Structure 1
Amino acid sequence: MTLFDGITQRVIETPRLDVSILEREGDSDATPADRTVVLIHGNVSSALFWQELMQDLPTDLRVVAIDLRGYGGTEHAPIDATRGVRDFSDDVHGALEALGIRSAHLVGWSMGGGVVMQYALDHGALSLTLESPISPYGVGPTRRDGSRLTEDDAGCGGGAGNPDFIQRLIDHDTSDEAPTSPRNVFRSSYVAPGFTTENEDVWVESMLTTSTATGNYPGDSTHSDSWPGFAPGTIGVLNTMAPKHFDVSGVVDLADKPPVLWIHGELDPIVSDSSLYEFNNLGKLGIVPGWPGDEVAPPQPMVTQMRDVLARYSDAGGEVTELKLEGVGHTPHLERPAEFRHALLTVIGYVGPSIHPAPPTEAIIIRSAD
């Protein structure tokens, strides 16, 4: 595990499982909740991805990054996908309880965005920062309003994992010899074209911590009579996000609505209205044969679904800010760290000696509630 200067790692015991966390040297356990930030990573990654941000946040905050089960240094326990992402969310809650953190500002990236929305539903939060989050209706065949296209959610879940990519995770492949190598997946899907980073080896190392044991990534699948012939199973990562198991649109009805920052890149190929990881869109593009057409299998409008739900959240009295970053892919916190940092500090209401003026940005502020 490659740790940056000032970042420490430890494993804590919880009643559910042993959880690995990253912290900063010098952060105090006595830091109040309103200055505590908890970072939750996405799929095929780990807490290592947060280290640059952790280094850059003000020193009078307490910052904790948690490895979800099956990632990083956390125990590789099986995941009950019929609970949606609640296994992940409950693990996070157990870890925070063990740390004495009763409430905090939550930041979730990609799948982690779904986890923190679930956490807010079950346990509450002081604020939610959703970075390139999955749709509130999960990752799978749904219409704009979240209604499901088939009874079994054909075309998503564990069967959607690329076998060659999975094998390269198993083989701990660090090369760039194939499009499906983790390194090339990082370059083509995690960041926008042309983005480079001196820490790429660390991010690839983080990806390779993904457990491919039974019950972890990607998960099982079942036969479907609907195109493309498979449907979600009941265990494993990708099945947790299937619409039959996952729906966090109920955040709209929270009595206590934390302020929400939604920050995402316009070039994100993973979470998009035309995602390159969504089978209906792949069928429409001719990449997967036999697509039955838009009437039967339209691509999932992931970004539009998120915008619609957050608009309802705002209409119901919640504070929402959307930042869409031009020229940015799936990882704004890596690609545009200054803008990400400033937006995060703003939504948590931080006032202190370490905050800087807003940096020059091409961000588009779509909505900010009165």
Structure 2
Amino acid sequence: MQLLPGVRSVVVPTDRLEVHLVEYGPEEGVPVVMLHGNLSTGRFFEHLFPGAPQGYRIIAPDMRCFGDTERLPLDATRGLADWADDVAALLRALRVERPVHLLGWSTAGAAIVDFASAHPVTSLTFLDPVSPYGFGGVLADGTPCFPDFAGSGGGIVNPEVVRRLAEGDDTTESPFSIRSVMRGSYWLESHSEPREDLLVAEVLKTVTGDDNYPGDSVASPNWPGSAPGTTGIINALSPKYCNWTRVVDLDPKPPVLWTHGAEDTVVADASMQDLGTLGELGYVPGWPGADVFPSQPMVSQIREVLGRYAAAGGHVRTEILPGAGHSPHIELPELWSGVFWDFVGAAERG
């Protein structure tokens, strides 16, 4: 589908891989980098570009495993550090030398902390981020339910979703086709997305398999029978490898914005993609009970860690947006954009 007016599509060779991105605004503008999450691409931000204030250069890359970026494996044992290093390589190639405003949606919430741990940033925005303790298989304090982190990683993904992605299924004939998944979890059922065909086509570019989505897995004696492997995006999100609680230790501490859809069912205290929730509801047999494998309180974990960031001297602005699910920038673009650009402008002024 054609790009919106003023939006540029570019493929940038870097010292790590070739990165495809969409961008907007003057090349000498203040850099704002927007990183998408799992099963999405940079074009999930494109609709926001024309309404942006003048003077900003918005850069939205397709991350490794997704979109039109070069198809290389992802090392899950580094958490989301491959993504962070890819962004650093991209900025070097683009000759962006000043600190950026950095946004991470969902999965990329962990990647922006990896980046900020190694590079100065002007601000950090968490958009419905993955929990600071990763996704699945942990208790409230981040302790794993099982020593091998069973119940998280590539083995927990429904293989029918992967099969339909690989086959390019753009229909709604199954609840496991990506169009159905979007309507059921990306945004609320009440939202009618005018760019749905484009976004479905973008997700169907996902690289499936053990190296990328969902990744490999290993057999486990613990429920539900699999533990994280070492490659691919869902393993990178496993608490075995993903932990961004070190945001508390950043020095200096950039201002932080956390925006979250109040009705998000993906990153929630009882996520409908968390095996603890699904087991309790009877969707996954053999659930060992809430004393062993409860729902992961993801939003509460985010709130607690960012509370520690504030207590350590950081500035945190929190906006929980009613009437939005996992994609408030898509469901409520004007409201979300107003919050975001107000925050970025304040951070830019210092």
Instruction: Confirm or deny: 8 A CA contact 1:40 1:112 kept in the other structure.
Output: yes
Quote the sequence identity (%): 44
> Which of 12, 15, 35 is the matching residue for 1:40?
35
Equivalent positions of 1:139-218 (< 5 A) are 139-218=135-214
- 2:54 match: 59
Which letter does structure 1 place at the counterpart of 2:184? Answer: S
Instruction: Confirm or deny: 8 A CA contact 1:46 1:209 kept in the other structure.
Output: no
Does residue 233 (structure 1) correspond to residue 229 (structure 2)? The answer is yes
Structure 2: runs of 5+ lacking an equivalent: none
Q: Deviations over 1:37-65 (max 9, x none)?
A: 10100000101101111122113211110
Does residue 286 (structure 1) correspond to residue 282 (structure 2)? The answer is yes
- 1:12 match: 12
Q: Deviations over 1:194-218 (max 9, x none)?
A: 1002111111112111111440100
Equivalent positions of 1:1-370 (< 5 A) are 2-24=2-24, 27-31=25-29, 35-102=30-97, 103-349=99-345
Structure 1 residue 351: Cα displacement: 9.8
2 CA distance for matches of 1:351 and 1:18?
Answer: 31
Structure 1 residue 132: Cα displacement: 0.6
2 CA distance for matches of 1:349 and 1:146?
Answer: 34
Deviating above 4 A after TM superposition, structure 1's stretches of 4 or more consecutive aligned residues are: none
Instruction: Confirm or deny: 8 A CA contact 2:122 2:347 kept in the other structure.
Output: no
TM-score (norm 1): 0.91
CA RMSD of aligned residues (A): 1.4
Structure 1 residue 89: Cα displacement: 0.8
Which letter does structure 1 place at the counterpart of 2:134? Answer: G
Structure 1: runs of 5+ lacking an equivalent: 353-370
Instruction: Confirm or deny: 8 A CA contact 2:36 2:44 kept in the other structure.
Output: yes
2 CA distance for matches of 1:91 and 1:324?
Answer: 30
TM-score (norm 2): 0.96
Q: Secondary structure at the match of 1:107?
A: strand
Which letter does structure 2 place at the counterpart of 1:218? Answer: P
Which letter does structure 1 place at the counterpart of 2:21? Answer: I
Instruction: Confirm or deny: 8 A CA contact 2:53 2:341 kept in the other structure.
Output: no
Q: Secondary structure at the match of 1:303?
A: helix
